[in-house]
Structure 1
């Protein structure tokens, strides 16, 4: 019985040991002095740089920029360094000129290290956060301005008014557009009526009356006169044309001879 109880306690102890080992989190090893030196250099450089400094760095090639950082012995990546310069310029526009900063706090995980500090600017305070990768190279830097509760509520109210105003403007526009739909049938009927209207018939010009041929003067046509006279005499049963004289011959319009 005692052996069974001992084995049970041993099993529980082993289980608790494995559980404790599994729940422990591994953190990356870092040199606090080296990290602090890098952050101090970056803050001092950003605070003293001119307005066109960022443009000069951005116009450099990747090889030249990385060579400059390597020669200076700075543990900064290209993107991390340029991002830090942009973030600092934006912070100065929002918070004013840099004054000082406080102590650093370190939060390490398995593959990154976060270093943060409270900074004082001319217009408002800000929270600066540096993120280093597993090789202790600067990955990013952010500067978050700190607002009072009243400023936050004011900004939230302005955003709410702006959003609701935009919604109401869009709804009014949609309502006005829908109200114009009642004119569509009248416009469509007008276009249809115009399309179906008969076109004016072209004016018919009167045809020219056929020209009446001038009667031919056949008074001198003796041969034709003799033939006609003989035909008339034959129709009357006379063998001679002495009883009449053909003086003129005129063509009748209705006859075709």
Structure 2
């Protein structure tokens, strides 16, 4: 039983040793010289190219750009190469032209090998970092500026001053706005007074003129009077048994007391 356990432990130890050797062999398989040549070609090309040359490469079709990269011996995909051009041009615009760079230092990451070189621009010193994948194809390039402790403290102090200055300016503005609140009642009263003065009372409508009384037509009144006389005359004549020619009714007066018996 003890021999079986010892045999199992020995097999596990050998397996772990082979795994470690495999990792070292993979690390040693990278062609460092080839990657350095590729990085050097890219940096020298960018250093000698003008803005017109960069624009011309951007105008190429995928086939033209891929053919140009293959002819130059650069294992770079088209999209990655365009991104690298943008990164380099942005660094030049901010820090000036690239003057010189040193030897490459090789390191590894989980994505592949990394080449780093110390570069000197017109206005700043920086580290240029070029990333490769496991197949040794260049995938990315970045420019990292190196700041001294004094520059870092200066930048931090400037950011602090700008932040505090902005806060104080905002507080002063808010205090100024609050100080104007005391004028609001006076302004409101002034607007109310102007509104009362501007209000004009509507004039009263004139009373309609009384309608003129309509005068009764005299002809109609006289006609009613003659008809009444004729009726009374006929009634008297009938009661007396005489003719209406024997008497004449001159006028008719209404008695105050009309008690008929």
TM-score (norm 2): 0.68
Please give the alpha-carbon distance, in whole angstroms, between the structure 1 residues aligned to 2:167 and 2:61.
46
Given that 1:80 and 1:139 are in contact with CA atoms closer than 8 Å, whether structure 2 keeps it comes out as yes
Please give the alpha-carbon distance, in whole angstroms, between the structure 2 residues aligned to 1:92 and 1:12.
59
Given that 2:114 and 2:129 are in contact with CA atoms closer than 8 Å, whether structure 1 keeps it comes out as yes
Please give the alpha-carbon distance, in whole angstroms, between the structure 1 residues aligned to 2:147 and 2:216.
121
1:70 positional shift: 2.5
Question: Is it true that 1:244 corresponds to 2:251 in the alignment?
Answer: yes
Given that 1:54 and 1:86 are in contact with CA atoms closer than 8 Å, whether structure 2 keeps it comes out as no
Partner of 1:166: 166
Given that 1:99 and 1:120 are in contact with CA atoms closer than 8 Å, whether structure 2 keeps it comes out as yes
Given that 1:96 and 1:122 are in contact with CA atoms closer than 8 Å, whether structure 2 keeps it comes out as yes
Partner of 1:218: 219
Question: Is it true that 1:157 corresponds to 2:164 in the alignment?
Answer: no
1:46 positional shift: 0.8
Higher mean C-alpha deviation, range 127-136 or range 171-180: 171-180
Name structure 2 gaps, 5 residues minimum: 254-261
1:114 positional shift: 0.5
1:128 positional shift: 0.8
1:131 aligns to what SS in structure 2? Answer: strand
Given that 1:75 and 1:137 are in contact with CA atoms closer than 8 Å, whether structure 2 keeps it comes out as yes
Partner of 1:63: 63
Question: Is it true that 1:117 corresponds to 2:132 in the alignment?
Answer: no
Please give the alpha-carbon distance, in whole angstroms, between the structure 2 residues aligned to 1:222 and 1:167.
107
Relative CO higher for 1 or 2, CA cutoff 8 Å, sep ≥ 6?
A: 1
Please give the alpha-carbon distance, in whole angstroms, between the structure 2 residues aligned to 1:11 and 1:108.
34
Q: Deviations over 1:180-228 (max 9, x none)?
A: 89969x97xx99xx9xxxx977844423422321332328x86534213
Q: Deviations over 1:15-74 (max 9, x none)?
A: 444445556646453222221211111111111111233333223333332232233332
CA separation of 1:133 and 1:232: change in aligned 2, threshold 3 A: farther
Given that 1:230 and 1:241 are in contact with CA atoms closer than 8 Å, whether structure 2 keeps it comes out as no
CA separation of 1:223 and 1:101: change in aligned 2, threshold 3 A: closer
Name structure 1 gaps, 5 residues minimum: 247-257
1:178 positional shift: 7.5
Partner of 2:229: 229
Question: Is it true that 1:206 corresponds to 2:181 in the alignment?
Answer: no
Question: Is it true that 1:147 corresponds to 2:154 in the alignment?
Answer: no
How many residues end up aligned between the 2 structures? 233
CA RMSD of the aligned region, Å? 4.2
CA separation of 1:54 and 1:241: change in aligned 2, threshold 3 A: farther
1:134 positional shift: 2.0
Quick check: which one's helix share is greater?
Answer: 2
Please give the alpha-carbon distance, in whole angstroms, between the structure 2 residues aligned to 1:180 and 1:20.
81
Partner of 2:36: 36
Q: Which has the larger radius of gyration?
A: 2
Given that 2:132 and 2:140 are in contact with CA atoms closer than 8 Å, whether structure 1 keeps it comes out as yes
1:52 aligns to what SS in structure 2? Answer: helix
